[in-house]
Amino acid sequence: MEILEKLTKHQENFSQIKLNQLFAKDINRAERYTIQYEDIFFDFSKNFIVQDTLNLLSEYAEKVNLKTMIEQMFQGEKINFTENRAVLHTALRNFSKNPIYVDGLDVMPQIIAVREQMKNFVQQVYSGEWCGATGEKFTDIVNIGIGGSHLGPAMATRALSVYNYTGLKVHYVSNIDGEDINEVLSKVNPATTLFIIASKTFTTLETMKNAYTAKDWFLKKFARRESDVAKHFIALSTNEKSCQEFGINPQNMFAFWDWVGGRYSIWSAIGLSTALAIGWDNFKEMLLGAYEIDRHFRSAPFQKNIPVISAFIDFWYRRFWKFPSKAIIPYSHYLAMFPEFLQQLEMESNGKSVNRISEKIYYKTGQVIWGEVGTNSQHSFFQLLHQGTDIIPVDFIGFINPNFKINGHHDWLMSNMFAQAEALMIGKSEEEVREELINSKISSFDIDKLLPHKVFDGNRPSNTMLFNKLTPHTLGKLIAIYEHKVFVEGVLLQINSFDQWGVELGKQLSKKIFNDISTDFDANSHDSSTNLLINYYKNNKKN
């Protein structure tokens, strides 16, 4: 029997088993299905998994050459085959002093040079050596980017805001909606504001529209001469010609490479805004944290490997249980943007319907990723998690020690996290509910009427990941775990996790529609619905 058939049969048999039964049968289950690595405690015992499951998934991973694929990624082979590119975000946090080759060239000297350039720039901004046209120190940084040039740095800056010791304010603009950039520009002083334009090609529509709006605002509000632009605008880009045309000095460009995917680019110069927010030493700690996970991921056996086990579970649930989505619930106020960051990382990577040999796929791939911080989420969508008709696995992320210890708040926070994971698994039986209702002196008629509404089926799986404290080093580890999990899941699904052709069509059509909106003639070259919408918009907008 083929391994996929074995997994299918295994799931069919497993679907009759309850999580409670697994714990009752194996008193050591919690310890058996837990991995501890450094300060990470990963409990995956509340899942539809037994040793046979892990053995079958490990066997399948060997069949699809997971170990080989991992090595190919770290060694710079072009595993992003649809774009003929290496996938080397891991090289950006490589501190081993070993060379890494792409097309026969060791890329580490370039990476180290950009790191040094970033470090020097951060120090110059802090000291005032790099300042605005009036000689005043910068008080505000505005990062203009979108996608990976926005989500990663914005998430990390928010997550590590307690490490901003200088008071330098870092703002993020991404949306082409003019209200986004207007909101930021209304808060800052042009004389003390530095703009970072984050676009590899310097052609991304949203980024460049916002960049030119910022430049026009700067020239109108402050600049005495066009050359002042060079003191207030820098670029994270490889397009020197376009940067110069914009007014940016080539010396104020920070390079990154086509083997850095946007959603993996926080480790590159794209992370400069975060480095300015938290300081270079802290940014380096982020890199080192990710590097520690790289070493764990590359060397640990599959069944003791946190990213691999996490990917096994997601693959198991999506391919064989057909669970449609997954919730990410960080129990940290500072990780409010983490679910949003993972939406891009996971769904842009594994939302594919063609396999590695260019054939249409007829099984389930990428999950819908969503979430919110606890305990806020408990008072919004947890009702659906507990009693909805879909089973939605959950990742709980918590920290043993808070950044601020205030009057028992943290113990209550963590009590809620542990309680939600337990409640999802154990539920509440009809017998338990009936006893509660009888004790509450409700009439038998009302008991029968109310009872079904208060029953929790339970049997809903989750992972719990505990860290010591949310620090730059820890955040680096956390991001890297999910990066590698996404890659492993892509290998198991037999897809390319590193392209994103699905974002292109809408971009192309938007340019055509913009031209239609810009003319005096009615649109007639689209489907009837789109023509109607365009023409209704044109006829009713105020010029």
Phi then psi dihedrals of residue 38, to 5 deg = 50, -125
Residue 144 bridge partners (DSSP): 173, 197
Domain 502-540 fold is Phosphoglucose isomerase, C-terminal domain (1.10.1390)
26-63+300-401+408-426+461-499 maps to which CATH number?
A: 3.40.50.10490
Task: Give CATH 1.10.1390 domain extents, the chain.
Answer: 502-540
Please name the amino acid found at residue 136: E
The C-alpha angle 47, 65, 262, rounded to 5 degrees, equals 80
Residues acting as catalytic residues:
348, 379, 507
pTM, rounded to two decimals: 0.96
Contacts of 213 (CB under 8 A, 6+ apart): 178, 181
- Burial group, residue 41, by CB count within 10 angstroms (0-12, 13-18, 19+): middle
Place of tokens 């505000």: 140
CATH superfamily of 102-283: Glucose-6-phosphate isomerase like protein; domain 1 (3.40.50.10490)
pLDDT at 1: 64
Task: Give CATH 3.40.50.10490 domain extents, the chain.
Answer: 26-63+300-401+408-426+461-499, 102-283
Name the residue among 171, 271, 485 with its Cα closest to residue 477: 485
pLDDT at 16: 86
pLDDT along the chain (543 residues), means of 10: 92 92 96 97 98 98 98 96 96 95 96 97 96 95 96 98 96 97 97 96 93 95 84 93 92 92 96 98 98 98 98 98 97 98 97 95 95 96 95 98 93 97 94 88 81 92 98 98 98 96 88 91 93 93 78
